[in-house]
Amino acid sequence: MKFGIIGLGYVGLATLCGLAKAGHEVIGVEKDQPRLLRLMNGEVPFHEPGMADVLRDYPGSITFTDSIADVETVDYLVLAVGTPSKSDGSCDLTFVDEALSEVKSKQKIIIRSTVPPGTTDLLSIMYPAHTFAVVPEFLQEGRALADVLKPHRVVIGSDNLEMSEEVAGIYGRLGVPLVCTSPIDAEFIKYASNAFLATKISFINDLARLADKAGADITTIADGMGLDPRIGRSFLNAGLGYGGSCFPKDMQALLNVAHENELDLPVISAAMHSNDSQMAYVASKVEHKSGIKVAFLGLAFKPETDDMRDAPSVTLARHLALREIDIVGYDPLAKWDYPQAMTPEAALKGADVAILVTEWDELVNLKPEAFDGMRTKRLIDARNAWKYARDPGTVQYEGVGRMQNKANTPSSM
C-alpha cells in the first residue's frame, strides 16, 4: 500500500519508519524546511533509536516532500501534525485544520495526532469528502519505533465500518489486541491513558514525601505494591514528577474538555497540583544559600532522547536560579540554555550538590569516586536510580522518599 504522512515529528516519523519496515511505500510531508532537508539527506532531526537505520535501509520505499499535493493519490493519508496547547490550556487544532484544508482529493484519513474527544466527529462534518479513522499513538520517546512495530494495543475509532475493517486489517498483522470503537471513544482512550499514568506518578510522589518524613523507603513500598497485578510496578517511580511533551499538555487539555462540559475532574486537578509541588519539594532539598554550585546529571526529560520540551531539568533549574544558585549541567545528547559540561566529571568539579535528573545508563552507573572533584560530595538522586545508593562510599546520598528522616517515626511499643 501507499501512505502519505503529514507531519514528521516523533509520531509522524516513527509511523513512517514503521510502515516502511512493514513493506509499504511512504511519502512524508514536512513543511519545516531545515527538518525536511535533513530528512532528505538521511538524517533524523532528533535522537530516536532505530530511525536512522530505517532511512538508510529503505531508501526506495521512502520519499520526502513539502507539498501535500504530492500525497493526493495515496491509499491512506496519515495526519501526525502537532496539537500544542493554547494559553488557556485547550488544544490548538490549527495545524490539523491547515493540513486538511490543503487536501483537495477525496481521501481516507488516519488521524494519529492527539486531538480532544469529539474532534474527529467535527472534522467529519467540516470535511465531508473524506473518510476518517482516529488511531491514537501510545509511543514512548526513546522507544517510539519499537512501540510502532510492537504496540501493546491498537485503538481504531471510526464510524465507517469499511474504513474500520481496512485499518484493522493493516494493524492486525502486528498480532496485538485491537480495539475497534467510535472516534470519540478512541480519542478518550488516549487522554484517559495518559491521565492515569500521570496520576499514578503523582500518587507515588505524594507517598514519597510522606516516606521522607516518616522514615520509610518508597522504593520498597512501590515494589511491594507493584506485585499486585491490579496495580503493577510501572510508573510507580518516585522522583521529580512527570514532564515531556505529552502528559502536561494532555492533562490540561482534558481539564479544558471537562470545563467545556461544565464538569470538574478533581483527581486530575489534584494530580497536576501534586506534580507541580514535587518539583518544588526536590528543589527544597538544596540549601537555600546563594553562591553554591549545583551540577545537574542529565537534562533530557527521559533517557534515550534529546527532547527538552517540558523537561523537569529546566523547571528545577528555574527554581534554583531564583535563589541565585550557580547551575551547570551534563547530558549525553540534550542541550539547554544554562552552562553545560562535556563530561559528568567536569560538571561535578567544584560543585556543592549534584542532582541525578535523568537516568541515563552512564549516570546511573557513575562510581562513587566520580564525585571526588566536588567541593562537597553530596548527591540528590531525584530518580532513585543511582546504582551505588546502598553503598555510596564517601558520597552523601539522598534519594526521594528513601528514609531520609527517622525523627518522626513512631517509637516501638
Q: Is 24 left (phi over 0), alpha (psi -120 to 50) or beta?
A: beta
Residues 360, 298 contacting (CB under 8 angstroms): yes
Q: Is 328 helix (H, G, I), strand (E, B) or coil?
A: strand
d(CA 73, CA 75): 7
**246 flagged as catalytic:** yes
C-alpha cell at 386: 543511582
Please state whether beta strands 178-181 and 62-65 pair in parallel, antiparallel, or not at all (unpaired): unpaired
State which amino acid sits at residue 214.
Answer: A
d(CA 167, CA 120): 16
d(CA 46, CA 189): 28
State which amino acid sits at residue 245.
Answer: S
C-alpha cell at 141: 520517546
d(CA 129, CA 108): 9
d(CA 17, CA 316): 35
Taking CA atoms, 14 is separated from 64, 148, 300, in Å, by: 14, 7, 19
C-alpha cell at 73: 493519490
Angle at 118 between CA 193 and CA 156, to 5 degrees: 55
Catalytic residues: 246
